[in-house]
Chains A and B, each alone.
Chain A
Amino acid sequence: MSSNSEKDDKIAPDTGIPSPQLVQSAQVIPNQLGYKFGLGRKGFTLIAAVAVFLWLVSGIYKVQPDEQGVVLRFGKWVETSDPGIHYRLPAPIETILLPKVTSINQLQLGKVGITKQAANILSAHIEPEFAPLPAAQGENINQMLTGDENIVEADCAVFWQIKDVGNYLFKVYAPEKMLKVAAESALREVIGRNPIQAALSDRRQQIADDVKDSLQHLLDAEQAGILVTQVQLQRVDPPAAVIDAFNDVQRARADKERLRNEAEAYRNDILPRARGEAERINQDAEAYKTQVVNLAQGDAQSFLSVYATYTSSRDATAWRLYLDSVDQVLKKANKVIIDSSGKGMSGVVPYMPLSETSAKPTTAQGAAQ
């Protein structure tokens, strides 16, 4: 109890130990002295009364809405007060602690959220008599083993508030530091129970919940008076040395999908085309069928018509048909007529170089004459 108030110092500067008795006796002495040295008795009484009044008034205190007042009388917890204006006995007798009970505090594990300022505050809170955490390895502080003996780097944020003021203030030494250690331990333990894939992807929420439960369990066992409201697993990554390999797995997964999509694109391209082509083949065949049948019918019908005329006048029709054809054939052809049976013309050799037949038709015509 070394917290003297200023009023005590004014009245009794020669003693270091304040107490109510001291104040009482201190008032007697100046009265005597004042009488001796010519000061009015009234003056001393007034000064003493003002001093006592000020001292008593200093017992008024205010509890903010997010706080709770804890009144200690000679170190013993005697009263808990709600937000508002309250009175306690002045300084040496009763002291007041004002913990913030409703505000939710954030504790950052790992290197993500630690700013310089936060680090300073953190180190200021660590009592020198206890060895600091083995954080000297710096980068490796948030590396931890997973259940399948891999290594991950995990950061998480713990949100907490004071659950039990008495426990928080009086049962645990440096509760915030204990919370930090317990949170790290819980995180490491839970990560250590899970395989790396679970920690990296699908079971993150589950892990955060497990950490929360485990941490709350630890804190309750310690009677730390702290309620963990939430644990957020913020960053879980493989170590920098192997992150490429992990990213490559992601790329491979994408490649796999891409290959499948490409193959499906190919399928979607060729199958409709094939169906179209098949349809064309079918239609062509149908067309051909109809065509040949129709043509056949047409040909047959025209034959039958000709035949009908032929039966009515055989010779004339036959000759007409024959000569019509000869007309057609001879119209454009080069004609060479050789009377092989005639007299005097037997010496004609029908010389006709086959390759020149079309090139020298005039010779043939000349020979004919």
Chain B
Amino acid sequence: MNNRPLIIVAFIVAFAVFALWIVSASVYTVDETQQALVVRLGKPVGVVNTPGLKFKMPMVDTVIYYDTRLLPLESPTDQIILGDQKRIEVDTYTRYRIADLLLFYKSVRTVEQANAQLSQLVGSSVRRELGREPLGSLLSDKRAKIVDKIQNEVAEKAKPIGIDVVEVRIHRADLPLETSQAIYDRMKSEREREAKELRAQGFEWAQQIQSNAERERTVILSKAQRNSKITRSEGDAEAARTFASAYGKDPQFYKFYRSLQTYQQTLADSVPTLVLSPNAEFLQNLINGPGKQ
């Protein structure tokens, strides 16, 4: 009698705990970023694509969550021999969604497994497609086409494992480190060529400008000299005409007059010693005195 309320309490508690357990085991939530697979005793029975509060059978059902988001896959760096026998290092990345969860669960089960398979698919596809192309087309607008082709191929092959490949892209396509020294040398030689050409062009310009200027100077000076000569000879001619018209009046007198000028100009300022004969007419008076003429 005494412990009757206690029993009731114990019963209520036990019931409450049981009810709680049932509720908690049959309710689960699916996040906005998730999708869930309900597995009943090891057999997948349903896919839950919508987020929210969901119910399942307790004990027998287990829920496996998968991402609905776009998932990244970075493939490790791969050395690839291109169509023109050049080796490059290629990193690719893939973006995919789990599209068909049931198929995905049956074929790969985990994301890790899917990544491994997808990585192989991408690797072989990239190797095959790039193996046909020369480096030049990777470094051109053709790259997009090649990448599209790889993407389509991978997408096609990934469909059977429930994966929707949204994109495959070349993240990095570089020449391996061993060859970069050769590239550097080539770049250097190209720059040297350019630098030499530029300097030579500078020299060319300078020579053109200088020689042009010198030619112009010579032309200017020679023209001036020509004009000068013409002007001078005109002056000379004019002077000669003036003289001729004046002196032509009496050439005899001019000779006399001009020789006197010459004596004055050439003899007067020097100190010549003249040996004179007293017979000279201007000395007659010195010798004979007046009246003897």
Contact = CB atoms under 8 A, between A and B. Distances in A.
Interface centre among A170, A310, A323 (most CB of B within 10 A): A170
What 4 A-B pairs have minimum CB-CB distances, sorted nearest first? Answer: A289-B235, A296-B239, A256-B202, A278-B224
B139 A147 contact: yes
B192 interface: yes
Given A151-B187, A300-B242, 17 more contacts: A15-B20, A21-B19, A32-B9, A140-B177, A145-B174, A151-B180, A185-B169, A245-B195, A258-B202, A259-B206, A263-B209, A274-B220, A307-B249, A323-B282, A326-B282, A328-B263, A338-B276
B185 to A, nearest CB: 8
Interface string A124-137: 00000111111001
Given A146-B139, A329-B267, A331-B268, A255 B202 contact: yes
Given A134-B76, A337-B283, A242 B188 contact: yes
Interface in B200-233: 201-203, 205-210, 212-214, 216-217, 220-221, 223-225, 227-232
Contact of A260 (B34, B205, B278): B205
A100 interface: no
Contact of A270 (B214, B225, B268): B214
A57 interface: no
B108 interface: no
A214 to B, nearest CB: 9
Interface residues of A, number: 137
Interface string B264-289: 10011111111111110011000000
Given A259-B202, A296-B243, A29 B72 contact: no
Interface string B232-268: 1011101110110111011001101100110110011
A264 interface: yes
A267 interface: yes
Contact of B232 (A73, A172, A289, A301): A289
Contact of A336 (B166, B232, B250, B275): B275
Interface string A282-294: 1011101111110
A352 B210 contact: no
9 contacts: A75-B30, A76-B51, A239-B184, A263-B209, A270-B213, A285-B227, A285-B229, A289-B231, A289-B232
A131 B92 CA distance: 12
Contacts of B60: none
A169 to B, nearest CB: 7
A44 B70 CA distance: 50
A310 B198 contact: no
B67 to A, nearest CB: 6
Interface residues of B, number: 130
Nearest to B250: A307
Contacts of A245: 187-188, 191-192, 195
B189 to A, nearest CB: 8
Nearest to A173: B69
Interface stretch (A47-55, A60-68, A154-162, A357-365): A357-365
B72 A178 contact: yes
B167 interface: yes
A130 B208 CA distance: 66
A241 interface: yes
Interface string B100-144: 000000000001100100000000000000000001001111011
A196 B209 CA distance: 33
Contacts of B91: 133-134
Given A36-B6, A282-B227, A288-B232, A333 B271 contact: yes
A184 B170 CA distance: 10
A33 B12 CA distance: 11
B194 A193 contact: no
Interface of B: 5-6, 9, 12-13, 16-17, 19-20, 23-24, 27, 29-34, 50-53, 67-74, 76-77, 91, 93, 95, 111-112, 115, 135, 138-141, 143-144, 166-167, 169-175, 177, 180-181, 183-184, 187-188, 190-192, 194-196, 198-199, 201-203, 205-210, 212-214, 216-217, 220-221, 223-225, 227-232, 234-236, 238-240, 242-243, 245-247, 249-250, 253-254, 256-257, 260-261, 263-264, 267-279, 282-283
A149 interface: yes
Contacts of A17: 20, 23-24
Interface stretch (A101-109, A110-118, A217-225): A217-225
Contacts of A325: 260-261, 263-264
Nearest to B191: A245
Contacts of B235: 288-293
Interface string A323-366: 11110111111111111111000000010100001100100100
Contact of B12 (A28, A266, A361): A28
A278 B267 contact: no
A182 B243 CA distance: 103
Contact of A147 (B71, B140, B223, B239): B140
Contacts of B209: 260, 263-264, 266-267
A134 B20 CA distance: 50
Contact of B70 (A172, A310, A321, A364): A172
B183 A193 contact: no
B245 A332 contact: no
Contacts of B24: 15, 17, 19
B62 to A, nearest CB: 16
A88 interface: no
Interface in A68-113: 72-77
B273 A252 contact: no
Contact of B32 (A21, A170, A267, A337): A170
Contact of B50 (A76, A275, A326): A76
